[in-house]
Structure 1
């Protein structure tokens, strides 16, 4: 699962446009050839990776059908943490190494989560829209109160996912005065020390923040049943993966007052379109949407780029770094 020491590898970045142009990709320490494509359609994958030893992908799908046509491919370097777009089992069975990038957004994602919590707790978006609609002028007072304003300090945040991002979010939440709980895995037969049973977290928390991976066990982790367990005053924040939440059930919960608000940065299909229940209802005053950018501060993306290329250098040198397989 390595390259011959005499080889000059070709590195192809299938979706370079997922990294902003102002972010520099460090050059590898070793001799190589690199080709960048801004975007790659499913039909272009095999053609662009023919004879290539190293592929970089963020969201381009590399499944069994495509990988089976790429016998020279030795490394898939994922320019993200999530790797559910890669057929990991095929790679493990056929000697293709896979690396990902972890821990690069431990400042950016928590700040985005806390920003969403403040915006929703204080109903900033709703008040902004009221002013635009002329409510202040009609009220004829120096201020007006059309929406409740909640304090963040003193509220309880339940975090689902105790990895680097979950832990960093907990640190920042505590700094602004929140009490933090870590949720045990849904359906777990027992509860680890330092964790709270999943359903208890839903019932106790003022805010639920999702930071777990998307897999068969976490698909629709939050659905109609789970939303009904939450406080009517609670918020749901999802900066993890879109499939963690049943989007139609979430919209219904917001409309029916089952929960107070939601901040969503990730969607089941990206880019989302008007067929997505969240986009179709984005005028709701208690729904805050952002386009999968929680991870995307310039400093975090530069960290990602540095780690990504370090992973490739390590592989070429025969070293294991951030390996999935």
Structure 2
């Protein structure tokens, strides 16, 4: 590894998302910093040119950006988030750039958000709020029929739900725990196309994994909490919606691209599933012009959408700041034992 520099220049590309910590480096090392509240893709190359350390949350850092011509001084990238799919890790490995992230930092807020939007979709709370505010209750005498599924059945209670959990990391485990506390039966999914149905999930409950296809068929609510990789892209698409219960609710708090957005819209339109909620989109920031989930007509679907803010909480912000501080200080000291090194 290259000798540690004497002066570090820390560049925050998305400072709005980070509580900036005071970094303490061992003498004679010093640091300066530049904080950009937000950065567009067009601005990245100019802003990374003098960076020794790059701090970001969910901004695409590709191989061109990581070339010595664009970022000649870059030694460390701190992803102040759990997912690292926004960074070209192969390019980092080739240059010896260290990449760290913040696993587990947001598991409380993301898992609670997942449960919250589940309730919104299951009980069609947004529709009920809008109709009530519009004066439809006294006009129609009852709004009960608007909360029913397309087959006329009332919503399930938690005690009737079967929660399928796809993703068994810290967020998936906490969603499973919350779901069990609410009275749901929980199924932990194995990997898609895997025959290993008895693989332990490593949790303290020793709950065994269930084949992916079985989870799809038996779940009435499906929670997604997995990273975006080549193997998970479009993991949930037309055939998966065909296999799900017509009373099923899909909740995605992981990454856009894991769910085929066109297939999801079609499944909701055709009543293949009862509802869905997503905090993430294939293209972000998402709007009617770049997301099938937000285009004209989708407002009539039982689809709850939030703008990739499930992570946001005081606890998450504090965790991110502490891990960021440890990452920079650990790199400067040559001791990364207290942080999660993704590559380098």
Q: TM-score range by the shorter chain?
A: over 0.9
Tell me if the contact between 1:3 and 1:316 (Cα under 8 Å) persists in the aligned partners: no
Distance 2:113 2:133 in 1: 25
The farther-off stretch of 237-246 and 85-94 is: 85-94
**Poorly superposed stretches of 4+, deviation over 4 Å:** none
Deviation at 1:297, TM superposition (A): 1.4
Tell me if the contact between 1:282 and 1:289 (Cα under 8 Å) persists in the aligned partners: no
Residue matched to 2:45: 46
Distance 1:250 1:173 in 2: 23
Tell me if the contact between 2:10 and 2:32 (Cα under 8 Å) persists in the aligned partners: yes
Q: Could you say if the C-alpha distance between residues 114 and 9 of structure 1 is closer, same or farther in structure 2, counting changes exceeding 3 Å? A: same
SS of the residue corresponding to residue 92 of structure 2 reads helix
Distance 1:250 1:3 in 2: 50
Residue matched to 1:146: 146
SS of the residue corresponding to residue 64 of structure 1 reads coil
> TM-score when scaled to structure 2?
0.88
Deviation at 1:123, TM superposition (A): 2.2
Residue matched to 1:303: 319
Q: Does 1:57 align with 2:56?
A: yes
Distance 2:280 2:102 in 1: 18
Residue matched to 2:268: 254
Tell me if the contact between 2:195 and 2:211 (Cα under 8 Å) persists in the aligned partners: no
Distance 2:262 2:213 in 1: 21
The farther-off stretch of 198-207 and 44-53 is: 44-53
User: Could you give the per-residue CA deviations for residues 120-163 of structure 1, whole angstroms, max 9, x where no partner exists?
Assistant: 2222222223223433112336x744323321223110011000
Tell me if the contact between 1:206 and 1:234 (Cα under 8 Å) persists in the aligned partners: yes
* CA RMSD, Structure 1 to Structure 2 (Å): 1.7
The farther-off stretch of 275-284 and 96-105 is: 275-284
The farther-off stretch of 131-140 and 34-43 is: 131-140
User: Could you give the per-residue CA deviations for residues 260-294 of structure 1, whole angstroms, max 9, x where no partner exists?
Assistant: 00011100011111131111144125111110111
Q: Does 1:312 align with 2:328?
A: yes
SS of the residue corresponding to residue 34 of structure 2 reads strand
SS of the residue corresponding to residue 66 of structure 1 reads coil
Distance 1:81 1:144 in 2: 40
Tell me if the contact between 2:269 and 2:301 (Cα under 8 Å) persists in the aligned partners: no
Equivalences for residues 140-289 of structure 1 within 5 A: 140=141, 144-148=144-148, 149-191=155-197, 192-193=199-200, 194-275=208-289, 276-280=291-295, 281-289=297-305
Residue matched to 1:10: 9
Specify every segment of 5 or more residues in structure 2 that has no aligned partner in the other structure, as ranges: 149-154, 201-207
Distance 1:119 1:210 in 2: 16
Deviation at 1:41, TM superposition (A): 2.8
Deviation at 1:62, TM superposition (A): 1.9
Distance 1:144 1:189 in 2: 43
SS of the residue corresponding to residue 11 of structure 1 reads strand
User: Could you give the per-residue CA deviations for residues 212-258 of structure 1, whole angstroms, max 9, x where no partner exists?
Assistant: 11011011010011001000001000010110001111111111111
The farther-off stretch of 252-261 and 6-15 is: 6-15
Distance 1:313 1:164 in 2: 25
Deviation at 1:103, TM superposition (A): 0.6
Tell me if the contact between 1:117 and 1:152 (Cα under 8 Å) persists in the aligned partners: no
Residue matched to 1:130: 131
Residues matched between the structures, number: 319
Q: Does 1:323 align with 2:322?
A: no
Deviation at 1:3, TM superposition (A): 4.9
Specify every segment of 5 or more residues in structure 1 that has no aligned partner in the other structure, as ranges: none
The farther-off stretch of 103-112 and 189-198 is: 189-198
Tell me if the contact between 2:76 and 2:99 (Cα under 8 Å) persists in the aligned partners: yes
